[in-house]
């Protein structure tokens, strides 16, 4: 949610204090929210009604240009071809069934706060957030995080857990690519944790290690607004979308052994709400006195935290108005977040405009 450099939740420790987001929470009863319900967890404190329909964003046309890389299993023999291979056939795969299979494994009381939802969201984000519009490289097409060195990038520490948890789903549905599976897991997680409906389109193809992107394309939590713009403008996002995507920090927590940072952003780290923006505006934040990297904690309890990249959303004159709007209007944020997250997941995926767009039913809507 981590968005930004989400906090690593693996057992591996790193020396760099870079990172951000995603963790989860305990048992999962369904809580009614208007005509539907969502999966709730024991750490959640927000129980309120929220807005409904979202605005679906038309898929980005990010054609491959003059050609593309055609990969063999031996990626050292990759060849360049001016003709795209035949895309996979999707008609035989029941994506709602795959959605439900992912939803069934979200609850995991042995994992962090009790849900895999935040780390699946982080996996989907990190698989997409490497896109560079200038070179049309990176993005959700390829799933190159399966390979070193991308799997070993500091920003991706801990995501081996998410990838491993999804392997049984892949085995049960061999037709689905890893690229589609990871992006779909992000959609499932957001919707099942009470967030908006995210439009989703299949058709991503897996690549080999030669297509992996260089380290440093994901945000660094220790830096400021210029860095955020450099990262997100490179992908084609504007200031409004940067703030909207930052709202994913409603999810998860940071862990000292992984990112160096410590604590959750909100009191409901497994519930998608506009609570991140409310906390940012309404609480008094002070710099934490400790031996770790610079971060902020709420003065009242010291239990919640914000990172330097969070705090700049208050300080920057272009970012702050959107923080205020989203804190006041959750439906507005849901709409903008759904559009921005869909856009994020389409980065680097060649489209022709004729693809089917899926709007999945939540598990409680199928009962």
pLDDT for 9 equals 38
Distance CA 131, CA 266 (A): 29
Selecting among 6, 125, 126, 249, the annotated active-site residue is 126
Query: How many alpha carbons fall within 13 Å on the CB side of residue 177?
Result: 21
pLDDT for 49 equals 36
pLDDT for 91 equals 55
pLDDT for 60 equals 31
Distance CA 360, CA 212 (A): 30
Whether 265 is catalytic is: yes
pLDDT for 358 equals 97
Helices in the chain by DSSP H: which ranges? 95-104, 117-128, 159-165, 167-172, 178-192, 225-235, 239-246, 275-282, 308-315, 320-328, 330-346
159 within 8 A of 19, measured Cβ to Cβ = no
What are the CB-based long-range contacts (under 8 Å, 24+) for 210-213? 210/69, 210/71, 210/75, 210/76, 210/78, 211/69, 211/71, 211/78, 211/137, 211/142, 211/144, 212/142, 212/144, 212/145, 212/147, 212/149, 212/150, 213/130, 213/132, 213/137, 213/138, 213/144, 213/150
Q: With H, G, I as helix, E, B as strand and everything else as coil, classify residue 71.
A: coil
pLDDT for 229 equals 97
Q: Which of 62, 3, 55, 5 is nearest to 346 (CA)?
A: 62
pTM: 0.77
Selecting among 182, 265, 285, 322, the annotated active-site residue is 265
pLDDT for 158 equals 86
Q: Which residues pair with 206 in a beta bridge?
A: 142
In the chain, which stretches have pLDDT less than 50? 1-38, 40-88
Whether 255 is catalytic is: no
């Amino acid at each position: 949610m981590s968005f930004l450099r989400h906090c690593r939740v693996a057992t591996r420790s790193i020396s760099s204090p870079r990172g951000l987001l995603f963790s989860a929470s305990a048992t999962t009863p369904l809580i009614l929210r208007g005509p539907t319900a969502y999966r709730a967890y024991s750490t959640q404190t927000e129980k309120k009604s929220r807005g409904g329909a979202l605005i679906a964003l038309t898929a980005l046309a990010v054609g491959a240009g003059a050609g593309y890389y055609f990969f063999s299993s031996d990626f050292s023999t990759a060849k360049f071809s001016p003709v795209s291979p035949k895309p996979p056939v999707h008609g035989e795969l029941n994506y709602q069934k795959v959605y439900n299979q992912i939803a069934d494994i979200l609850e995991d009381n042995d994992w962090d706060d009790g849900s895999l939802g935040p780390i699946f969201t982080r996996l989907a984000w990190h698989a997409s957030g490497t896109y560079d519009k200038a070179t049309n490289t990176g993005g959700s097409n390829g799933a190159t995080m399966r390979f070193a060195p991308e799997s070993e990038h500091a920003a991706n520490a801990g995501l081996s857990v998410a990838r491993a948890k999804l392997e049984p789903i892949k085995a049960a549905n061999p037709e689905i690519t890893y690229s589609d599976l990871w992006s779909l897991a992000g959609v499932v997680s957001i919707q099942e944790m009470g967030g908006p409906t995210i439009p989703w389109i299949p058709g991503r193809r897996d690549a080999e290690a030669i297509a992996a992107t260089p380290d440093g394309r994901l945000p660094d939590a220790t830096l400021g607004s210029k860095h955020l713009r450099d990262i997100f403008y490179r992908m084609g996002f504007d200031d409004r979308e940067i703030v909207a995507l930052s709202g994913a920090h409603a999810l998860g927590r940071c862990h000292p052994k992984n990112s160096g940072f410590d604590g959750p952003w909100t009191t409901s780290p497994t519930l998608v709400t506009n609570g991140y923006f409310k906390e940012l505006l309404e609480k008094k934040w002070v710099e934490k006195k400790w031996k770790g990297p610079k971060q902020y904690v709420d003065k009242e309890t010291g239990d919640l935290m914000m990172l330097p990249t969070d705090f700049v959303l208050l300080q920057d004159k272009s970012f702050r108005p959107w923080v205020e709007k989203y804190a006041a209007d959750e439906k507005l944020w849901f709409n903008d977040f759904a559009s921005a997250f869909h856009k994020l997941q389409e980065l680097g995926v060649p489209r022709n405009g004729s693809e089917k767009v899926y709007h999945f039913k939540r598990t409680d809507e199928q009962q």
